[in-house]
């Protein structure tokens, strides 16, 4: 119970918000964006935070899922769930094939390789217009229904993405405390030491790469159906960077930190809108300032400050 | 066909020169401070944009160019002082986010000051194309190549022969040891960022008469500079120059022979191939596993 306490709190907040404000713009539009970004950030955090492997190309898997669903449902009339499964197959296979050569690299080389992968896939979305619709994208993606219930309004989408986010969070929390999770933590600490204790580091890293790609792909498929439209812009290098920023901003190696970062970066543009032309400038400044003064991330540094303060109070009352 | 290949080669070397200068700047900062500076491309943009606007404001051309270079150097040094120095002990990922933040910030500032339009600069001298066989060469192409060659030589001289250059190299070898022998490490880092920004500004000024520029043209250039540095072997400055030129030529040939739409993809495919086969880059030392 205690281990998953944070998870239950998150679920309660999510459900309560949906029930109390079903018509609010901040639930039906911003809320859906937050949940989508949170799913992606949590899945990226599995790789970056826990396994310590940076990826600057996570948006590519999100895009592959979205395009698989978009292309198969609009051009071939495939069942949306089968299309989603196809997306999972494509993303998973690609991640599996690339995992070993890419994750063999470290530090800046790894950053470059994942960045390159993301950019190549993005260029493919733009250029292969015979299948992806090119820069204009694909529209008219049909709606989906779950157990006979058509997901055809915003609040229903909120529940779908909210559910996916909770599921992802639950998976993430459980992976971390499982045997593979401990192996990942060992890899993060020292790869050589992990190998010495019998961890097959290459295969552990490959597994987590595939898991995180598959989660992103599922989120992408649902995103395509929710938007009813996909275009390459949503899956660019910039979005990959934004996802990395969410993970780092919240605090690496913390599932809730990733969610916190996703919430923050999804809401921030809404608030910055009033600054109009200054929006980009302020966004960049905020990123720099947080990272300079709280290099461990807002959530991790913040919770450390709070626990430190509580401990001090405990000591002084004794 | 040979003429066409020659033409691709000319444009490849021209673009490659820019990549080489950006990659060289990238490497200097990386060596001095272990930071992968994602704002590197922004130096190119700032150099070009400030030159354009000074020139439009009526400043004589050579003075406009010189002032633009100084402005860019100031931006580079401010970046080091305000963003990199305070975060000295941050991890690789954190510094990457900081420089990404800086690049977004600089782009935002450029958008605010100069707007979204695309601008050009006049060529340095009269624009009479030189024909070689059926291929043509603009005088500006020669300025780009010559300017790059001079800059690279100057950088080499600076790091090989001058006491300041050697002090910066000492900082990159071992910061603590350098400060123990009396080198002011913070000042050396400041100079390194200044030089790196200088190279970016030179690249921007040289190439803008051919390629034009806008507030967001720095992003791809920065990434290509990173590619050049990786291709040559991260940390090797002459490797970055060679990597940049090679990248430019490959891209140009790929765009001409395969498809111009896939131009950027070709560059990254080459990078991935190199990383998979020889992770330490073409001229890098064998310890690619460095963390």
Q: How far apart are CA B136 and CA B121, in angstroms?
A: 20
8 Å CB contact of A283 and B104? yes
Q: Is residue B288 pLDDT above 60, yes or no?
A: no
Residue B143's closest CA among B120, B127, B119?
Answer: B127
Instruction: Name the residue of chain B whose CA is nearest to A280's CA.
Output: B108
With H, G, I as helix, E, B as strand and everything else as coil, classify residue B274: helix
Q: How far apart are CA A242 and CA A248, in angstroms?
A: 10
Whichever domain contains B12, its CATH number is 1.10.3470
Helix ranges (DSSP H) in chain A: 5-20, 25-28, 30-45, 58-75, 80-103, 107-127, 129-132, 154-176, 179-189, 191-196, 201-227, 237-250, 255-272, 279-293, 298-317
8 Å CB contact of A119 and B268? yes
pLDDT score at A224: 96
CB of A93 within 8 Å of a chain B CB? The answer is no
**Pairing mode, if any, of strands A145-146 and B130-132?**
unpaired
Q: Is residue B285 pLDDT above 80, yes or no?
A: no
Give the residue numbers spanning the domain of A199.
5-317
Q: Residue A274 burial (CB < 10 Å; 0-12/13-18/19+)?
A: exposed
Bridge partners, residue B154, by sequence: none
Number of C-beta neighbours around residue A146 at 10 A:
12
Give every CB contact of residue A200 below 8 A, 6+ residues apart in sequence: none
CB of A111 within 8 Å of a chain B CB? The answer is yes
Task: State percent of chain A over pLDDT 70.
Answer: 99
Mean pLDDT of A106-134: 90
Contacts of B265 in chain A (CB under 8 A): 119-120, 123-124, 127
Distance from CA of B167 to the nearest CA of A (A): 25
CB of B83 within 8 Å of a chain A CB? The answer is yes
Per residue in A31-86, pLDDT (tens digit) is: 999 999 999 999 999 998 888 888 999 999 999 999 999 999 999 989 999 999 99
pLDDT score at B136: 84
Of A92-96, A161-165, B182-186, least confident by mean pLDDT is: B182-186
Contacts of A126 in chain B (CB under 8 A): 261
8 Å CB contact of A280 and B227? no
Whichever domain contains A162, its CATH number is 1.10.3470
Residue B221's closest CA among B38, B99, B96?
Answer: B38
**The most confident of A20-34, A61-75, B83-97, B168-182, by mean pLDDT:** A61-75
Residue B38's closest CA among B236, B219, B230?
Answer: B219
pLDDT score at B26: 92
Task: Mutate one of A111, A280, A289 to test the B interface: name it (highest B CB count within 10 A).
Answer: A280
CB of A106 within 8 Å of a chain B CB? The answer is yes
Q: Is residue B289 pLDDT above 60, yes or no?
A: no
pLDDT score at A263: 93
CB of A295 within 8 Å of a chain B CB? The answer is yes
Element (H, E) at B130: strand B130-132
| Average pLDDT of every residue of chain A | 90
Contacts of A55 in chain B (CB under 8 A): none
Give the residue numbers spanning the domain of B270.
2-125+134-277
pLDDT score at A104: 86
> Is B21 within a domain?
yes
Number of C-beta neighbours around residue A307 at 10 A:
10
pLDDT-derived band at B44 (thresholds 50, 70, 90) equals very high
pLDDT score at B129: 84
Q: Between residues 176 and 235 of chain B, which touch chain A (CB distance below 8 Å)?
A: 223, 226-227, 230, 234
Contacts of A194 in chain B (CB under 8 A): none
CB of B138 within 8 Å of a chain A CB? The answer is no
Instruction: Name the residue of chain B whose CA is nearest to A53's CA.
Output: B93
pLDDT score at A290: 86
Task: Mutate one of A253, A292, A298 to test the B interface: name it (highest B CB count within 10 A).
Answer: A292
Specify the number of domains making up chain A.
1
Specify the number of domains making up chain B.
1
Phi, psi of B126 (to 5 degrees): -45, 140
How many contacts does A have with B, using Cβ atoms within 8 A? 134
Mean pLDDT of A114-123: 93
pLDDT-derived band at B135 (thresholds 50, 70, 90) equals confident
- Greatest alpha-carbon span in chain B: 60
Per residue in B206-239, pLDDT (tens digit) is: 999 998 899 989 988 999 999 999 888 888 889 9
Q: How far apart are CA A155 and CA A23, in angstroms?
A: 7
Q: What is the 8-class DSSP label of residue A142?
A: P
Q: Residue B213 burial (CB < 10 Å; 0-12/13-18/19+)?
A: buried
Task: Mutate one of A128, A192, A291, A293 to test the B interface: name it (highest B CB count within 10 A).
Answer: A291
Residue A59's closest CA among A212, A265, A248?
Answer: A212
CB of A246 within 8 Å of a chain B CB? The answer is no
pLDDT score at B284: 63
More confident of the two residues B162 and B91: B162
Task: State percent of chain A over pLDDT 90.
Answer: 49
Q: Is residue B118 pLDDT above 80, yes or no?
A: yes
pLDDT score at A287: 85
Residue A221's closest CA among A86, A45, A30, A33?
Answer: A86
8 Å CB contact of B108 and A245? no
8 Å CB contact of B272 and A291? no
More confident of the two residues A127 and A298: A127
Using CB atoms, pick whichever of A113, A248, A282 lies closest to residue B97: A248
| Average pLDDT of every residue of chain B | 89
8 Å CB contact of B269 and A127? no
Chain centre distance of CA B38: 11
> Is B110 within a domain?
yes
> Is B282 within a domain?
no
8 Å CB contact of A54 and B87? no
Residue B66 in tokens: 């010189």
ipTM score: 0.85
Contacts of B107 in chain A (CB under 8 A): 280, 284
């Amino acid at each position: 119970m205690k281990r998953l306490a944070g998870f239950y709190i998150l679920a309660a907040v999510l459900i309560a918000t949906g029930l109390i404000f079903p018509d609010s713009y901040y639930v039906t539009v911003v809320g859906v964006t937050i949940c989508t970004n949170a799913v992606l950030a949590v899945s990226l955090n599995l790789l970056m935070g826990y396994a310590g492997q940076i990826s600057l190309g996570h948006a590519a898997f999100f895009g592959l899922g979205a395009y698989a669903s978009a292309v198969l449902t609009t051009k071939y009339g495939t069942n949306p769930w089968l299309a989603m499964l196809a997306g999972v197959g494509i993303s998973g296979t690609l991640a599996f094939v690339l995992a070993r050569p890419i994750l063999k690299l470290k530090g800046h080389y790894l950053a470059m390789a994942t960045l390159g992968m993301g950019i190549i896939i993005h260029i493919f979305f733009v250029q292969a217009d015979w299948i992806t619709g090119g820069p204009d994208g694909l529209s008219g993606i049909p709606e989906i229904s779950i157990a006979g219930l058509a997901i055809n309004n915003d609040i229903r989408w909120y529940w779908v993405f909210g559910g996916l986010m909770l599921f992802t969070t639950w998976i993430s929390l459980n992976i971390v405390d499982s045997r593979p999770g401990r192996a990942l933590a060992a890899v993060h600490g020292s790869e050589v030491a992990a190998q010495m204790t019998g961890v097959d580091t290459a295969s552990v890293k490959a597994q987590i790469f595939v898991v995180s790609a598959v989660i992103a792909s599922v989120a992408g498929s649902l995103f395509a159906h929710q938007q009813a439209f996909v275009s390459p812009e949503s899956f660019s290098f910039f979005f990959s960077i934004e996802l990395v920023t969410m993970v780092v901003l919240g605090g690496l190696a913390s599932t809730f930190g990733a969610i916190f970062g996703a919430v923050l970066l999804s809401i921030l543009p809404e608030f910055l809108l009033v600054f109009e032309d200054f929006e980009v400038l302020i966004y960049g400044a905020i990123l720099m300032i947080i990272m300079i003064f709280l290099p461990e991330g807002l959530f991790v540094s913040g919770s450390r400050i709070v626990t430190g303060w509580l401990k001090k109070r405990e000591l002084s009352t004794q | 066909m040979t003429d066409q290949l020659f033409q691709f080669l000319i444009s490849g070397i021209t673009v490659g020169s820019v990549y080489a200068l950006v990659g060289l700047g990238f490497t200097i900062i990386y060596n001095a401070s272990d930071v992968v500076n994602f704002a590197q491309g922004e130096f190119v943009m700032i150099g070009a944009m400030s030159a354009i606007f000074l020139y439009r404001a009526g400043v004589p051309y050579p003075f406009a160019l010189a002032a633009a270079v100084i402005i860019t150097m100031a931006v580079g040094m401010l970046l080091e002082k305000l963003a990199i120095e305070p975060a000295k002990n941050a991890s690789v990922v954190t510094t990457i986010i900081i420089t990404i933040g800086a690049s977004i910030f600089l782009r935002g500032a450029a958008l605010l000051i100069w707007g979204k339009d695309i601008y050009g600069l006049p060529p340095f001298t009269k624009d009479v194309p030189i024909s070689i066989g059926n291929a043509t060469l603009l005088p500006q192409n020669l300025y780009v190549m010559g300017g790059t060659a001079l800059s690279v030589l100057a950088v080499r001289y600076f790091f090989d022969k001058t006491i300041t250059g050697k002090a910066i190299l000492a900082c990159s070898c071992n910061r603590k040891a350098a400060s123990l022998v009396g080198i002011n490490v913070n000042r050396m880092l400041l100079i390194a960022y200044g030089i790196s920004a200088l190279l970016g500004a030179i690249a921007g000024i040289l190439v803008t008469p051919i390629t034009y520029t806008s507030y967001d043209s720095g992003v791809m250039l920065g990434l290509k500079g990173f590619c050049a540095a990786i291709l040559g072997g991260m940390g090797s400055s002459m490797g970055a120059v060679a990597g940049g030129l090679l990248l430019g030529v490959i891209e140009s040939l790929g765009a001409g022979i395969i498809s111009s739409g896939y131009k950027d993809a070709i560059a990254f495919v080459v990078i991935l191939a190199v990383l998979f086969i020889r992770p330490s880059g073409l001229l890098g030392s064998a310890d690619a596993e460095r963390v």
